[in-house]
Structure 1
Amino acid sequence: MSNSSSLSPQQTRTLRLSRNTVIVGGVLLFHGLGLWALQSGLLRRAVEVVVPAEILAEFITPAPPAPERPPVPPPPAPTPPVPTPPKPRPQPVERPRPAPAPQPLAINSPAPAVDNAPVVTAPAPAPVPAPQPAPAPPAPPAPPAPPAPPKMVQPSSTADYLNNAAPPYPAMSRRLGESGRVVVRVLIGPDGRAQEARIQRSSGFERLDQVALETARDRWRYKPGTRDGVAEAMWFNVPLNFVLE
C-alpha cells in the first residue's frame, strides 16, 4: 500500500497497462497453442485415446455372480452281495436190519390140576326201583275277589212324603214376562235338609234366580243320599222351571 500510494498517477497508469498487456498476451498464447495442437492432430489423438478407454471401462464392469448350485450328493455305495449259505450234503440213511426170528424153546408144562371146590353162585342183585317224580307244588290260592263297589243312591226332592210346593212366581217377573229354568246345586245333609246352596245355572233374570235359591235352600226337604244304605251328605242339582201360563 505504501508503494502504490507513493507512485504518481502516470506511473500507476503505466503499471496497469503493462499488467493488462501480460494478461492479453497470455490468453492469446493459450489460444494459439490450442489451434496449433488441433491442426497438428494432438487433440484428435487425445480424444481417440480417451474414448476407447471409456468403452473398455464399460465392458470391464464385473458380471453378477452366478447362482450357487446345490452340491450333488455322492452316489450311494453299492450294497455288498448277500452270501448264500451252502446247501447241506445229504447224509446216507442207514436201513434197519431185520431182527433174527426167535427159536422155539421146549417147555415141560405140568398138567392142570382139577379144582374140586364147590362153586358158589352169588345171588342176583335186587332190582333198583325207578325214581318217582317229585310231586307238583300246590297251585297258589286264587286272589280274593275285589270288593264290590259301594252302592250309592242319589238324593231326591220328588218323594211324595216331602210335600215340596212349587216356588212362588214373582209378581214383577210375571208382569214383565220373565221366564226360564234355574239349576240350584244343593249340599243335602243326612237329615234331608239343605246345608249349602248356590246357583249352578242362571235363568237370565235376577228375581227368578233369587226365588229358586231361597226355595231350594230354605223351604224344600229332601230324601238324603245313601252309601251302602247309610245316609251321608251329598251334592245334588235341583232344577226349577218358571213358566208363564
Structure 2
Amino acid sequence: MDRRIPIVIAVLGFHVLGLWALQAGLLRRAVELVVPVSVLSDMIEPPQPQVTPTPPQPQPRTAPTPKAAPLPRPVAQPAPQPVAVATPTPAPQAPTGVTEPQPPAPPVTAVAATEPAAPPAPPAPPAPPKIELPSSNADYLNNPKPAYPPLSKRLGEQGKVVVRAFIEANGTATKAEVRTSSGYDRLDQAALQTVLKWRYVPGKRAGVIEGMWFNVPIHFVLE
C-alpha cells in the first residue's frame, strides 16, 4: 500500500497539471505548433527532376521483294499434217517404200506498199524555137564591097562600123542605124549606105521566114 500511494499521487498530479495547462492555453499552443509543422512537411516536397521521354527509333524500311514474273504458258503447236503424195503404180515385183509426211509450206503474205507514190515529174518546158539570123554573105546575092570615101583614104581614116539593120522577109533592109562607130563620121555614113543597098537571106524562126533585126559589121582597111 505504501508503494501505490506515490503512484496515485503522481497520476493525480499529472491530471492536475493537464487541467491547469488546458485552462492556461499552453497545451493548445503546443498542438498548434506541432500540427502545422507536420502538415507543412507533408505538403512541401522537393521538386522532382523532369525526365524527357526519348523519341522512338524509326524502324528501317525493308524493300518489297519483287514478285517473280509468271512464266509464259507453253503454246501447243499443231502437229504437222501428213500430205498425200501420188506415187506411180509400182511394178508387180518392185519393193514398196514408205513416204514421210512433209511439213506444210508457210503461208505467203502480200506486203502492201506503205511508201506514198512519188508525184509525177513536171512536164519539161518546151524548147525555145530555133532562130536563124539573116545573112549577107551568100554568093548569089552579089553584094558589092562598101565604097571607101576618097577623103578618108587621103587622111588615113580606117576602122570597124557595126550597123544594126532590120531585114524584111523579102531580104531587103528597110531600117539601119549605127550600133558601133568607127570614130569617123564619113566611114559611118558610108557603112549605112552600103547596108541599105545590100540584099540578104531573110531570117527564120522555127523554120518560118520573118523580119528581124541583124547586126552587119563593115570593115574599112587601107591597103
Query: With structure 1 as the length reference, what TM-score do the two structures score?
Result: 0.42
Structure with greater proportional helix content:
1
Q: TM-score, normalised by structure 2?
A: 0.46
